[in-house]
Amino acid sequence: MSTDILSLRLGITNTYLLRGTKGIVMVDAGPPGKIGAFNRKLSKLYILPGDIKLLVLTHAHFDHAGLAKEIQDITGAGVLIHKYEKEALEKRQYFDRKGIDLWGKISGIFLSLFAGKVSFPLPEIHFVTESEDFPLLDFGVDGTVIHTPGHTPGSLSVVLKTGEAFVGSMAHAGFPYRTKPGFPVFAKDIDELKKSWNKLIDYGAKIIFPAHGKPFPIELMTRKIETDAGT
């Protein structure tokens, strides 16, 4: 079973369309205010909105979930999110996170001030996960949604059987955060984040598709994890 992978850049966020045998699974929605760009890019790809059957939100931050309701209204897609992130959306809570380097500490302060002022309508949630895996075969995609906490407590990733992994903000690999792939510049729990990377390795992840930056081989992260463990 093959899966076509298409990337849609919405604002500063890469969202991904995974086209399987029964339609499309979309990973992340992007920030609010980008519905026009979303419609234009779908049209250029000759994709009908109704082809999108499921929207997986990797976490509740505005740049990943802010456009979810408008996309849902246009496509009719079901929405999947982790229990902790659903609660965060409902409480309008922006999870605190620690800068793991100087730039993370500085940018985190400004981002928190900005994020607290961003409002967006909430989608209807159809699927809520916790620690269990969520197979995507019913949507025609040979892959699995897994719980990968660290950046936020309920962060999710999608791993295809062929090794492509869509990890939200488990990694930063480009503007405005990093110039090359690495851990996110801020995270709720860096130790949990490292455990989640080992989980991705165990699940057979080979190529990482981050929400911020370009795809990269997982070996870049395994070397980082090994280096940190040796310090």
CATH number of the domain bearing residue 96: 3.60.15.10
Average pLDDT over all residues of the chain: 89
Average pLDDT score over residue span 134-153? 96
Q: Please report which confidence band the pLDDT of residue 114 belongs to, taking 50, 70 and 90 as the band edges.
A: low
Question: According to the model, what pLDDT value does residue 113 have?
Answer: 56
Average pLDDT score over residue span 97-107? 57
> Pick from 151, 211, 220: which is nearest to 180 by CA?
220
- How far apart are alpha carbons 104 and 177 in whole angstroms? 8
Whether 23 contacts 52, CB under 8 Å: yes
Give me 103's structure tokens.
């730039």
Question: According to the model, what pLDDT value does residue 225 have?
Answer: 79
- How far apart are alpha carbons 88 and 128 in whole angstroms? 13
Half-sphere exposure of 209 (CA within 13 A, CB side): 22
Average pLDDT score over residue span 14-24? 97
Global pTM? 0.91
Q: Please report which confidence band the pLDDT of residue 116 belongs to, taking 50, 70 and 90 as the band edges.
A: low
Count of domains observed in the chain: 1
Question: According to the model, what pLDDT value does residue 230 have?
Answer: 47
Which domain, by its residues, includes 196? 4-229
Tell me: the pLDDT tens digits for 167-210? 999 999 887 778 889 888 888 888 999 999 999 999 999 999 99
Write the CA distances from 87 to 91, 92, 98, 179, 196, integer angstroms. 6, 8, 20, 33, 21
Give me 228's structure tokens.
């940190």
Whether 201 contacts 222, CB under 8 Å: yes
Whether 182 contacts 87, CB under 8 Å: no
Tell me: the pLDDT tens digits for 40-52? 999 999 999 999 9
Average pLDDT score over residue span 212-223? 92
> Pick from 74, 186, 60, 179: which is nearest to 125 by CA?
60
Residue 231 has pLDDT above 60, yes or no: no
Question: According to the model, what pLDDT value does residue 223 have?
Answer: 79
More confident residue, 190 or 7: 7
User: In this prediction, what percent of the chain has a pLDDT beyond 90?
Assistant: 72
Tell me: the pLDDT tens digits for 48-97? 999 999 999 999 999 999 999 999 999 999 999 999 999 999 987 665 56
More confident residue, 226 or 189: 189
Average pLDDT score over residue span 213-227? 87
What DSSP letter does each residue of the chain carry, written as one string?
---EEEEEEETTEEEEEEE-SS-EEEE----TT-HHHHHHHHHHTT--GGGEEEEE-S--SHHHHTTHHHHHHHH--EEEEEHHHHHHHHTT-----EESSHHHHHHHHHHHHHHTT---PPPPP-EEESSS-EE-GGGT--EEEEE--SSSTT-EEEEETTSEEE-TTS-BBSTTT-SS-BS-SEES-HHHHHHHHHHHHHTT--EEE-SSB--EETHHHHHHHHHHHT-
Residue 110 has pLDDT above 90, yes or no: no
